Chains A and B, each alone.
Chain A
Amino acid sequence: MKLVWQIALLGLALSAALSAQFQPVFRASTDLVSVYATVRSREGRLVTNLPQERFRITAAGKPVGVVAFSNEPQAITAAVIVDMSGSMASRLLWIKRTVRQFFDALNPIDRVRLGSFGSEVALSPHLTGDRRILDRVLEEELWPGGGTPMWEGTVAAAESLIKEAGLRSVVIISDGEPSSFGAWRKEAYDLLTREQILVYGINQRGGGLGALRGLADETGGGFVELTPNEQAGKTMAQVAEELRHRYLLGFVPPVRDGRMHDLRITTDGGGFTVRAQRKFTAPSGGAQR
């Protein structure tokens, strides 16, 4: 009986939140776990109009019901971090062009923070849709050189978004593998999973793929490869569309142990591919009654 009330209250909270467009509440209660998902057709086309009934969630190995749902487009809240390591120096102009094309695809309500990792991990304090500020940071604050502290950069970018509401993303433009491992890598994965921040990787074709693609897959984000001379405008517009068109799915987890568990989201028929985070953190506080 208590569970029914909890679900009802959560539903009310979520409905109220969703009534304000672009402002979905993500964590209405410690009992509800919400995740974002994108769906693509067999042809790779973004599918944004599936109903709630088509989704299936398996959490901690057990099927659970979808108790909250939204497919409203949302404002983009993203930290875009650019790999400025030595190996990217020969792609500096390509990077700037690609980032500028991403800016071109933003809507007025979207907010972006630009940063970089190389000899330094640096993030602009501005999380903004003001194009003048974004362009200024792009032109004045990218300096090639140094290693590839991708994990440190990812942690810094994710931390800078923790206090933001709604769907949050870290967009990483990089050519390869990080130069550090171990603790930073674990911290990045834990932080992104705990905060449900997704990673979208943008790679120049020919570079390494493993770490960036793995991060994107694990967090339910996305990954694209571009060729050096490709006119990336269309692709970056698609990236922006994918960042704002996410299904919001809420479920009550079958365990309450405060630990991380496997998560699998599928759709019922249609041959769709669902991209969502593969882990979730269960609420703590004893067994579910």
Chain B
Amino acid sequence: MTIRIIALVLTASALVGGQASRSRTLIVSVANQDGTVAAGLTDRDFTVEIGGVPVTAVGVSQIAEPLSVMLLFDRSASVLSVPPNPSSPFGPSSRRALLDAGTVSEAILRSRHPSGREYFGRFSGFTEFRGPVAPNLGAWLEVLTWGLARVPGSSSPIWDAVSDAAKRIERDPGRKLLVLVTDGRSNANALSLEDAARQVVRSGVAVSVIDIGYREQVRQEDMLVAATRPDRLLNWLAEATGGHYITDATVLKTRVIPASLLGNVVDLHRYAYSVLTTVPVGLPAPQSVKVHVSHTAATARTAAFVEVR
């Protein structure tokens, strides 16, 4: 099984065999088919290409580092206007929130690194943030009450919000993950998707997306069919930044994010692999980076990333 991945990271110059080279540590998260972390991979499982040039993976480790997690929720009108699903197990008029403090506690706080940080952001027309949030149930209860309250819905500048969120955590130590919960119906952006992704990559942040939207085929009057596919844009964003794209039938049906799903999304980055490589100096940056993983047990959801510094 081959998994394409991408990453970015630390660069240092050295002389290897008389030729100038740089060492690069790539952060690579690998998922099994069920969305859990693929564990036990070694350097022999990874093959890396930078700028189309194969490079050697000289070391691989899977050590939990401090992780900054930003939960970024789309609260725009298109998300809020989706009626409660009549087949929801919580009842047709369920007002249960997408996420509750218990889920955050179970999925994120229970196994957090002592130096990790957690944030919450929401956008509807403009973006607001809270955090770092104290790692306790009470603090999260307060933040989620604010963050998921029904507010007058507005536009969906998703790419701008993602960029702002990445800037918010870029100076934190360790790894950085942005969990974007959205329907993908983006508009009113100052940034294009591509520009936002580049900025996010420069900030060293991976974006994983939990898609709560829908796609549709709309028959046109001239007999053509127009496909509206926000999922494609979201998938591209996740791949470009080294994150994962998740669409889950249960979430779409119940409008509730279960702790197991959120926990997997976070753990994929908490327990991501550090892959040390060396590459010759002289490749102009930015370069595309591809990481292939051969592992029969792993079916990956992953990533392609586009910048090396």
Known: A89-B218, A90-B220, A228-B221. A120 touches B78 (CB 8 A): yes
Mark each residue of chain A from 121 to 157: 1 if its CB lies under 8 Å from any CB of chain B, else 0: 1111110000001001100111111100000000000
What residues on A are CB-neighbors of B78 within 8 Å?
Answer: 119-120, 143, 145-146
Is A93 on the interface with B (CB-CB < 8 A)? yes
Is A229 on the interface with B (CB-CB < 8 A)? yes
Known: A91-B221, A92-B220, A146-B78. A125 touches B187 (CB 8 A): no
Is B155 on the interface with A (CB-CB < 8 A)? yes
Known: A120-B156, A122-B155. A94 touches B187 (CB 8 A): no
Known: A120-B76, A120-B78. A93 touches B155 (CB 8 A): no
> How distant is A159 from chain B, measured CB to nearest CB, in Å?
13
Mark each residue of chain B from 148 to 189: 1 if its CB lies under 8 Å from any CB of chain A, else 0: 000001111000000000000000000000000000011111
Known: A136-B192, A140-B193, A143-B228. A91 touches B187 (CB 8 A): no
A121 to B155, Cβ gap below 8 A?
Answer: yes
- Give Cα A126–Cα B230 distance, bound, in whole angstroms: 21
Q: How many A-B residue pairs have CB under 8 A?
A: 78
A141 to B224, Cβ gap below 8 A?
Answer: no
- Give Cα A94–Cα B218 distance, bound, in whole angstroms: 12
What residues on B are CB-neighbors of A141 within 8 Å?
Answer: 186-189
B219 to A123, Cβ gap below 8 A?
Answer: no
> How distant is A183 from chain B, measured CB to nearest CB, in Å?
15
What residues on B are CB-neighbors of A145 within 8 Å?
Answer: 78
Is B190 on the interface with A (CB-CB < 8 A)? yes
Output the residue of B155, B187, B189, B219 with the most chain A CB within 10 A: B187
B187 to A143, Cβ gap below 8 A?
Answer: yes
- Give Cα A140–Cα B189 distance, bound, in whole angstroms: 10
Is B297 on the interface with A (CB-CB < 8 A)? no
Q: How many residues of B contact A (CB 8 A)?
A: 26
> Which of chain B's residues 210-240 have a Cβ closer than 8 Å to chain A?
218-222, 224, 226, 228, 230, 233
A125 to B190, Cβ gap below 8 A?
Answer: yes
> How distant is A68 from chain B, measured CB to nearest CB, in Å?
37
Is B259 on the interface with A (CB-CB < 8 A)? no
Contact of B155 among A89, A90, A120 (CB under 8 A): A120
What residues on A are CB-neighbors of B220 within 8 Å?
Answer: 90-94
> How distant is B230 from chain A, measured CB to nearest CB, in Å?
7
Which residue of the partner chain B has the closest CB to A124?
A: B188
> How distant is B231 from chain A, measured CB to nearest CB, in Å?
12
Is A116 on the interface with B (CB-CB < 8 A)? yes
What residues on A are CB-neighbors of B190 within 8 Å?
Answer: 125-126
What residues on A are CB-neighbors of B76 within 8 Å?
Answer: 120
- Give Cα A124–Cα B159 distance, bound, in whole angstroms: 12
Is B81 on the interface with A (CB-CB < 8 A)? yes
> How distant is B226 from chain A, measured CB to nearest CB, in Å?
5
What residues on B are CB-neighbors of A142 within 8 Å?
Answer: 187
Output the residue of A91, A125, A136, A141 with the most chain B CB within 10 A: A141
Is B77 on the interface with A (CB-CB < 8 A)? yes
B226 to A228, Cβ gap below 8 A?
Answer: no
> How distant is B73 from chain A, measured CB to nearest CB, in Å?
16
What residues on A are CB-neighbors of B154 within 8 Å?
Answer: 120-121
B188 to A123, Cβ gap below 8 A?
Answer: yes
B193 to A146, Cβ gap below 8 A?
Answer: no
Mark each residue of chain A from 147 to 189: 1 if its CB lies under 8 Å from any CB of chain B, else 0: 0000000000000000000000000000000000000000000
A90 to B221, Cβ gap below 8 A?
Answer: yes
- Give Cα A123–Cα B188 distance, bound, in whole angstroms: 5
> How distant is A222 from chain B, measured CB to nearest CB, in Å?
24
What residues on B are CB-neighbors of A89 within 8 Å?
Answer: 218, 226
What residues on B are CB-neighbors of A121 within 8 Å?
Answer: 77, 154-155
Output the residue of B224, B226, B230 with the most chain A CB within 10 A: B226
Contact of A146 among B81, B156, B192, B219 (CB under 8 A): B81
What residues on A are CB-neighbors of B189 within 8 Å?
Answer: 124-125, 137, 140-141
What residues on A are CB-neighbors of B81 within 8 Å?
Answer: 119, 146
What residues on B are CB-neighbors of A93 within 8 Å?
Answer: 220, 222, 224, 226
> Given contacts A120-B154, A120-B156, A122-B188, could you give 4 more A-B pairs where the C-beta distance is less than 8 Å?
A119-B81, A120-B78, A140-B233, A141-B186
7 A–B contacts, CB within 8 A, in A order: A92-B228, A119-B78, A120-B187, A121-B155, A124-B189, A142-B187, A145-B78
Q: Give 6 closest A-B pairs by Cβ, nearest first.
A: A122-B155, A122-B187, A141-B187, A143-B185, A122-B188, A120-B77
